[in-house]
Amino acid sequence: MGVELVEGQDLVVKDKFVYMRTTRGLQRVDVIYRRVDDDFLDPQVFRRNSTLGCYGLMEAYRAGNVGICNAVGTGVADDKSVYPYVPEMIRFYLGEEPILKNVPTWMCRKQDDLQHVLANLKDLVVKEVHGAGGYGMLIGPAATQAEIEDFRRALLANPAGYIAQPTLSLSSCPTYVDAGIAPRHIDLRPFVLSGREVQMAAGGLTRVALQEGSLVVNSSQGGGTKDTWVLGEHSAGAATQSQSQSQTQSQSMGGMTQTQGGF
């Protein structure tokens, strides 16, 4: 898509302008889409010990010299307690009905919802509203009785910190693992570009739970990824060549990435 993927150390701020370091010298940066949390974005303003962000970035942003697509504070939309209100947001702001339905969600801060969740912990998935990366969650059908009781105590101590949803059945896909080819659960993250028109990219990121029987696909929990593509109106030869070039699988292991050939 013609977008540079950089780390904080690849950027530098001079005279309130942001530049990217390249082999041809500094190049001006106009727009940033970030994958760094607010606290780590700029050590001049936020965490002083952050090595993930770019020193002076917020100063350049306040001066209007760089755009940040997902500006500081927009992470509130990732809070899981916001999710149940998305259908109402669509109706209020767009005057439309949602095309896709939400997953049924119980907000544990509501007394009736909390009682339902406590009575059905063994059948539900319980998540921390601020959680991410597959951490801080309970998958009831796969949990031990001790884990269920731990979450029961956590819910009673801080009900507003949790939501619950039914356990969804993920699709499975043949996956190359140590023992050979075996089914593993997957989900799909499509890429949608929103400009004058909304366009969906011809492909996406398939996340795979590499542990047998697991429903947790997050890379931080040992999950992997598969390249995903949509076959267009091409000849069989072109499609076959495209598949052979595209089918790879990667796994995150202790901060390292292992890449494997697909099939």
Length of the chain: 263
pLDDT band at 63 (very low <50, low <70, confident <90, very high): very high
Q: What is the pLDDT of residue 243?
A: 45
Task: Report residue 168: phi and psi, to 5°.
Answer: -90, 145
**Spatial CA neighbour of 59 closest among 47, 46, 48:** 46
Q: What is the pLDDT of residue 186?
A: 87
Q: Where are the domains of the chain?
A: 8-74, 79-167, 171-261
Non-local (6+) Cβ contacts of 24 within 8 A are none
Which tokens is 126 given? Answer: 């319980």
Q: What is the pLDDT of residue 159?
A: 96
- pLDDT for 245 beyond 70: no
| Percent of residues, the chain, with pLDDT higher than 90 | 43
pLDDT band at 130 (very low <50, low <70, confident <90, very high): confident
Q: What is the pLDDT of residue 234?
A: 61
Q: Does domain 79-167 have CATH number 1.10.10.10?
A: no
Q: Are 4 and 20 in contact (CB under 8 A)?
A: yes
CATH of domain 8-74: 3.40.50.11290
CA angle 217–222–226, rounded 5-degree value: 55
- pLDDT for 133 beyond 70: no
3-state SS assignment for residue 196: coil
Partners of residue 26 on adjacent β-strands? 21
CA–CA separation, 206 vs 220, rounded Å?
Answer: 15
Summary mean pLDDT of the chain: 83
- pLDDT for 1 beyond 80: no
pLDDT band at 11 (very low <50, low <70, confident <90, very high): very high
CA–CA separation, 236 vs 241, rounded Å?
Answer: 9
- pLDDT for 237 beyond 80: no
pLDDT band at 172 (very low <50, low <70, confident <90, very high): confident
Q: Which amino acid is at 37?
A: D
Considering only 78-87, 133-142, 185-194, 230-239, which range has the smallest mean pLDDT? 230-239
**Spatial CA neighbour of 180 closest among 221, 212, 213:** 212
